[in-house]
Structure formats: C-alpha cells, structure tokens
C-alpha cells in the first residue's frame, strides 16, 4: 500500500474519468455529498497502491460506490442506519436484485399495517395517500426474509421519500418550497417504482467481499490500506446535524426502534445520536483519535476552507501520525442562489480540501 512512484503527489486539477458504472449510482441531494468530487478523490487515490478502502463516514454512499467501481474491496461505515443501508444494498451486495414478484409482495394492499406513519406524521411531510403507502411497504417488508432484498426495498423507499420532499430534508413541516417540480408531483408509489428500477440497475459485482458497517467512526474496529474520512464539517456559524435533517428516513430504516422520540416537537423527530463533531473541542480530538487509530493506512480527508480545524491545524494533527502530508485544493462553489449573493462574489468561494497523509 505504498505510493506508486516516488514523485511528489500530483496535485491534479484535471480530474480522472470514471467508468460508466459509476454514473449508475442513484444519487440524492444528501448534505455534504461528494458526488461532484468523486473524480478528484479518485485522481488522488489512484496515485497509491491499495486493495482495501474504508469509507468511515459514507453518507450518501457515492464515494464507497466509486471505489467499488474501481474494483477495490470496500468497507463502508456510517452511524446513521439509513446511510449504512444504502451501502448494504449497493456496495456490499454484489448480485441480488428485486424481482417483479418481490415488488408484488411489497405492494400487497391486504396486509394489515400498524398505521404508525399515517398517525404520527399526519399532514407533516406527506399526504394521507403517501403515508398509507409507506405503512404498507413497512408492513410487507416484515414478511420479506432476504436481508439484502430488504435493504434494496428500504433504499428505494428512502430514495422515494427524499425525492418527493422539497429540499430533501425533514427539518420543517408542511409543503413549503413546493415549486411544482415533477419530483414533487409524482405520488410516492410512482417515486418508489422509479427508485426500485434505479436501485436494481445500480447493483453490480466487483468480485470483492465488500462490507457495510453501521457504527461510530471512533469505535468501528476495521483497518484498510486506504481510509477516506469525510466527517460533518464543523463551523461555529452553521449546524452540521445529520440526524435532525434526515430523522424521518432514518426512522423508516430503523422502524423507529431504539430511538428516543421527542413527541413534543412539531417535526416528531427523535433525539440525535451523540457525535464528537458537534463542538470544536470534540472535533479536534476526534481527528486526532481517528488518525492515530489508522496511522498505518493511507489517509484522505475531505474538509472545507470555512470549517475548523483550519488547514494548518489539520496538517499539524495529521503530521503527528504520518510522515508525508499534502493538501490538494479543489475549487468548489456552493450555490447560494436564493440568498442574495452575487455569482463570483468571493464570499461564496469555499475551497474543498483533500488532506492526504502517507
Ligand atoms: C459529510 S457527510 C459524508 C458524505 C459522504 N462522503 C458522501 O459523499 O455522501 C458526514 C457523515 O458522517 C456521519 N456521521 C456523523 N458523526 C458520525 C460518527 N461519529 N460516526 C460515524 N458517522 C458519523 C453522518 O451521518 C454523515 O452521513
């Protein structure tokens, strides 16, 4: 797992092309998704010799999937069950897809349901028909025995919910931001059937035993030749809370088991899971611990120029454990389209860094 040659790391502004299969990943608007950066990440990673990759904060799953298409053995991890479910369905799973009979079973309207979504989230995110549909899928899922098939159905249901939800998040109630887009007009059933197709088409075999984990990045006991680290970005100016944004789809995947419901909230969310990335001190310590635990691996960290630790601090933490540390900067503009900023305004320019330790 050394570098392929002894030259300095190439700071490529020319991202590498990726195989056709990579574009089959059914992406959604997941906060912090690196969908637009996977070519850059591969440009950097491909300069090393490695067989196994650990994606410690897999989120949407798009980076894990990219590494899978490069025929690496991929270990994915995220502390949210709905993220881990996506990689179970599309990274760990090499050959199972949903058949028409499976879908018929999932759409069986005569199975009694617990009405949990219809009753708990009445008029909160989706209309009655859509809520009933979710409850029906949940009920029929319990009758499906194959765990991989379950993960495919859940991945499709989650995708349908995220697509039908304006802005793809569950931090507000009602149908604000409904701009009449096709995605919002389709029923959840229609969205689900499209999602099943997209998910099925994304399944492929890279000949490796890939594995999806659902744990805390600081305690997951797994090593790999290369570790990709993309935690929530900490900034005192913005909130980086994932569970709060995605609690509804997280609830679907966990079937609301083992969560602490906050019944008095308008959104009917549940208590977020503890994570060190909620405050500055915790964030510094977490990076230190993660780098120490994975000190024998090639490390690639995604982080942005408007977050803490800053560039110099991050390099210093990494230098404690790695001989060579380099920073690749990817020019990247976040869109602030409806916040009154002018395009080209310097304040909009956030640099995405890849910190590479080897
Ligand atoms: C920036 S996102 C990752 C995005 C991902 N690379 C992608 O391209 O979609 C950060 C992720 O870290 C997860 N996370 C937050 N704290 C965590 C922890 N302590 N352990 C594991 N995952 C955590 C969140 O659930 C979220 O999915």
Decide: residue 316, CB within 10 A, 0-12 exposed, 13-18 middle, 19+ buried: exposed
Q: Answer with the residue of higher pLDDT: 140 or 5.
A: 140
Distance CA 274, CA 297 (A): 26
pLDDT at 158 over 80: yes
Q: Answer with the residue of higher pLDDT: 93 or 167.
A: 93
pLDDT at 342 over 90: no
**Beta-sheet strands, E only, within the chain:** 52-55, 73-77, 211-213, 226-229, 298-304, 325-333, 349-357
Residue 267 CA to ligand 1 center (angstroms) comes to: 22
Q: Where residue 261 falls among pLDDT bands split at 50, 70, 90?
A: very high
Residue 231 CA to ligand 1 center (angstroms) comes to: 5
Residue 58 CA to ligand 1 center (angstroms) comes to: 6
Distance CA 71, CA 59 (A): 20
- 125 Cβ closer than 6 Å to some ligand 1 atom: no
Q: Dihedrals φ, ψ of 21, to 5°?
A: -55, -35
Residue in the structure block whose two tokens are 């949210």: 80
Averaged pLDDT, 273-278 = 96
Q: Which atom of ligand 1 is nearest to the CA of 78?
A: 22
Averaged pLDDT, 193-206 = 98
Mean of all residue pLDDT scores within the chain: 92
pLDDT at 37 over 70: yes
- 352 Cβ closer than 6 Å to some ligand 1 atom: no
Residue 143 CA to ligand 1 center (angstroms) comes to: 31
Residue 30 CA to ligand 1 center (angstroms) comes to: 10
Averaged pLDDT, 7-13 = 62
Averaged pLDDT, 136-157 = 98
Residues 6+ positions from 272 with CB-CB distance below 8 Å: 241, 242, 243, 244
Q: Where residue 238 falls among pLDDT bands split at 50, 70, 90?
A: confident
Tell me, what DSSP letter sits at residue 126? S
Q: Which atom of ligand 1 is nearest to the CA of 274?
A: 19
Distance CA 243, CA 312 (A): 30
- pLDDT, tens digit, for every residue of 289-321? 999 999 999 999 999 999 999 999 999 999 999
Strand order in the sheet with 73-77: 211-213, 73-77, 52-55, 226-229, 298-304, 349-357, 325-333
Mutate which of 31, 78, 83, 221 for ligand 1? The one with the most ligand atoms within 8 Å of its CB, which is 78
Per-range mean pLDDT, top range of 13-17, 24-28, 332-336: 24-28
- 162 Cβ closer than 6 Å to some ligand 1 atom: no
pLDDT of residue 178: 74
pLDDT of residue 127: 95
- 272 Cβ closer than 6 Å to some ligand 1 atom: no
pLDDT at 340 over 50: no
Q: Where residue 346 falls among pLDDT bands split at 50, 70, 90?
A: low
Averaged pLDDT, 230-252 = 95
pLDDT at 357 over 60: yes
- 217 Cβ closer than 6 Å to some ligand 1 atom: yes
Q: Where residue 343 falls among pLDDT bands split at 50, 70, 90?
A: very low
137, 105 Cβ separation under 8 angstroms: no
Q: Answer with the residue of higher pLDDT: 339 or 59.
A: 59
pLDDT of residue 60: 98
pLDDT at 10 over 80: no
Residue in the structure block whose two tokens are 């499209």: 194
pLDDT of residue 42: 96
Q: What is the percent of the chain where pLDDT is above 90? A: 84
- 64 Cβ closer than 6 Å to some ligand 1 atom: no
Q: Which of 100, 107, 183 is nearest to 138 (CA)?
A: 107
What helix, strand, coil percent values describe the chain, rounded to 5?
A: 40, 15, 45
pLDDT at 14 over 80: no
- 60 Cβ closer than 6 Å to some ligand 1 atom: yes
pLDDT of residue 118: 98
pLDDT of residue 335: 42
Averaged pLDDT, 252-260 = 98
Q: What are the chain's domains?
A: 1-93+208-232+276-358 (3.40.50.150), 96-202+240-274 (no CATH)
What angle, rounded to 10 degrees, do the helices at 147-164 and 188-202 form? 130
Averaged pLDDT, 262-288 = 97
- 232 Cβ closer than 6 Å to some ligand 1 atom: yes
């Amino acid at each position: 797992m050394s570098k392929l040659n002894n030259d300095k790391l190439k700071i490529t502004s020319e991202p590498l092309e990726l195989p056709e299969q990579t574009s089959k990943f059914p992406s959604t608007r997941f906060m912090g998704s690196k969908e637009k950066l996977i070519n850059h990440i591969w440009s950097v990673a491909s300069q090393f010799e490695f067989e196994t990759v650990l994606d410690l904060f897999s989120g949407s799953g798009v980076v894990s999937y990219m590494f899978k298409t490069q025929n690496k053995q991929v270990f994915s991890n995220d502390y949210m069950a709905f993220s881990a479910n996506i990689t179970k369905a599309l990274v760990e799973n090499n050959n199972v897809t949903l058949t028409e009979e499976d879908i018929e079973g999932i759409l069986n309207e005569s199975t009694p349901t617990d009405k949990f979504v219809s009753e708990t989230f009445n008029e909160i995110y989706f209309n009655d028909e859509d809520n009933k549909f979710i409850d029906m899928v949940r009920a029929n899922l319990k009758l499906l025995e194959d765990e991989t098939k379950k993960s495919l159905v859940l991945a499709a249901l989650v995708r349908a919910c995220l697509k039908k939800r304006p802005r793809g998040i569950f931090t507000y109630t009602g149908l604000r931001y409904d701009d009449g887009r096709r995605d919002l007009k389709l029923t959840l059933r229609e969205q689900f059937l499209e999602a099943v197709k997209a998910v099925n088409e994304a399944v492929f075999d890279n000949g490796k035993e890939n594995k999806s984990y659902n744990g805390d990045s600081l305690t997951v006991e797994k090593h790999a030749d290369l570790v990709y680290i993309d935690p929530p970005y900490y900034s005192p100016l913005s909130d980086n809370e994932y569970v709060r944004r995605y609690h509804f789809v997280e609830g679907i995947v966990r079937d609301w088991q083992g969560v602490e419901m906050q019944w008095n909230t308008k959104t009917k969310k549940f208590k977020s899971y503890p994570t060190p990335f909620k405050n500055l001190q915790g964030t510094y310590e977490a990076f230190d611990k993660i780098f120490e635990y994975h000190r024998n691996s090639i490390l690639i960290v995604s982080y942005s120029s408007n977050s803490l630790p800053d560039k110099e601090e991050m390099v210093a933490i990494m230098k404690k454990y790695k001989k060579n540390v380099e920073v690749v900067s990817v020019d990247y503009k976040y869109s602030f389209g409806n916040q009154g900023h002018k395009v080209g305004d310097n304040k909009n320019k956030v640099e995405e860094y890849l910190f590479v330790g080897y």
